[in-house]
Amino acid sequence: MNQLRLLLLALLLACAGTSYAAKVDTLAIPSAVMHKAYRANVVLPAAYAKQKKANFPVLYLLHGAYGHFSDWLAKTPDRQLVHRLADQYNLIIVMPEGETFGWYIDSPVNKESQFETYITQEVIQKVDQTYRTVRDRKGRVITGLSMGGHGALYLSARHPDLFCAAGSMSGAVDINTAKWKLNPEDAKNTAARFEPILGPAGASPENYLTSYMVLPLVDKLKANGLPLIIDCGVDDFLINTNRELHQRLVYNGTPHDYTERPGGHTWEYWQNSLPYHVLFLHQVLQANAVTIPSTARQ
């Protein structure tokens, strides 16, 4: 009988522990500009269901190349990581679609690949219409991994009216694959993947890529004044270009948080990195007075 009571108590505690856990929505966000239907995962903190009159800040969390919107929930070794961070900081976390090689840019040659417009206009608008969000830049932050790190810095640099802080984990901040620490065959194959969205490289691949890279935006990043957090693993094939970005930001006097840690281009690295980013971004939101007080957390 005592064992039965203990079992029932354990079940009740388990139910109580999960009743107010972060909730995951799959939100349909069709794109008028691309004439396609896409989805996003939206993680709502437990407090969202309890605090009916509160407006919540939003983190846009971008996936990498060859991935999709569900990656951050399906591929981290700890599948509950994003849920816990949403609950810990009372933060809505939105993971939109960027396609396998969309790069969060508006392609000049492919009208079906317009992910800069999609994220900055269609996704944000849909999220703000659907949820109780802080509908202002002071309540929006953005970060991502690899292609998503590029996307977060690129979009925030070009749209400082939409975000108040940005980050990059292992970001592909220079999309000239000749500078990546890859074997020549892999670098060539990856470079070829850019042609459908950027057109033929021609005789000057550097000039062809410049308009869609983060590195040339360092003066824009300085002028915008957004708090930035950037990190990369020391064994990552993108480490050299991240170091170059850091050096350019130091040279032009742009304040930023830059870290190198052990690790490569892996989900183990990004799982370790994400909590640092969320803490950094939360502190910016807190300074903007848009966070939900800790007393409201469940």
Q: Look at residue 47 and tell me if it is in a domain.
A: yes
Q: Look at residue 16 and tell me if it is in a domain.
A: no
Cα 197 from chain centroid (whole Å): 21
Determine the pLDDT at residue 232. Answer: 98
Q: How many CB atoms lie within 10 A of CB 1?
A: 5
CA distances from 268 to 72, 77, 79, 150, 175 (A): 12, 7, 12, 19, 23
Determine the pLDDT at residue 188. Answer: 87
Task: Give me the amino acid identity at 70.
Answer: S
Rounded Cα gap, residues 266 and 59, in angstroms:
22
Of 104, 105, 84, 106, give the one whose Cα is nearest residue 93: 84
Q: Look at residue 36 and tell me if it is in a domain.
A: yes
Determine the pLDDT at residue 204. Answer: 56
- Domain range enclosing 63: 21-291
Determine the pLDDT at residue 202. Answer: 65
The structure's pTM equals 0.92
Q: Is the backbone of residue 107 left (phi > 0), alpha (psi -120 to 50) or beta?
A: beta
Determine the pLDDT at residue 206. Answer: 63
Q: Look at residue 213 and tell me if it is in a domain.
A: yes
Q: Look at residue 6 and tell me if it is in a domain.
A: no
Contacts of 189 (CB under 8 A, 6+ apart): none
Determine the pLDDT at residue 178. Answer: 87
Provide the CATH number for the domain around residue 185: 3.40.50.1820
Rounded Cα gap, residues 186 and 192, in angstroms:
10
Q: Look at residue 9 and tell me if it is in a domain.
A: no
Q: What is the CA radius of gyration of the chain?
A: 20
pLDDT in tens, 210-221: 999 999 999 999
Rounded Cα gap, residues 154 and 148, in angstroms:
9
Of 177, 188, 98, 100, give the one whose Cα is nearest residue 144: 98
Of 109, 161, 169, 157, give the one whose Cα is nearest residue 140: 161
Q: Where are the alpha helices (DSSP H) in the chain?
A: 2-19, 46-50, 71-74, 81-89, 115-117, 124-130, 147-158, 184-193, 195-198, 205-210, 218-224, 239-251, 267-287
- 120: tokens are 């900055």
Contact 132, 55 (CB under 8 A): yes
Rounded Cα gap, residues 118 and 105, in angstroms:
9
Q: Which residue has the tokens 């062809």?
A: 208
Of 167, 138, 170, give the one whose Cα is nearest residue 155: 167
Q: Look at residue 12 and tell me if it is in a domain.
A: no
- Mapping DSSP to helix (H, G, I), strand (E, B) and coil, where does residue 25 land? strand
Q: Look at residue 153 and tell me if it is in a domain.
A: yes
The residues of the chain scoring below 50 in pLDDT are: 1-2, 4, 6-19, 296-298
DSSP state of 133: B
- Provide the number of structural domains found in the chain: 1
